[in-house]
Amino acid sequence: MVPDHIDSSALGYLLVGVIRGIDSIAKADVDGATLEQTARSAPALIPRADPPHPGG
């Protein structure tokens, strides 16, 4: 879940930028391991809401 205060347009641009960046480095013949690590690291850029606390 993304926090309510996050600008959805900015988040969308971030995700498009990550996708385009991965596409660009893939076209530059970067090895598969680097591409995979880049793709696995990308979700860390997305701000997350704190999970709801039980009973509160």
Contacts of 34 (CB under 8 A, 6+ apart): 25
Number of domains in the chain: 1
User: Residue 32: inside a domain, yes or no?
Assistant: yes
- 3 in any annotated domain: no
pLDDT of amino acid 31: 92
Is the residue at 37 inside a domain?
A: yes
pLDDT digits (tens, 9 = 90+) for 1-54: 777 888 888 888 888 998 898 899 999 989 999 989 988 888 887 777 777 777
Note whether 45 and 6 are within 8 A (CB). Answer: no
Determine, yes or no, domain membership for 1: no
Supply the pTM of this predicted model: 0.64
* Structural domain harbouring 36: 8-44
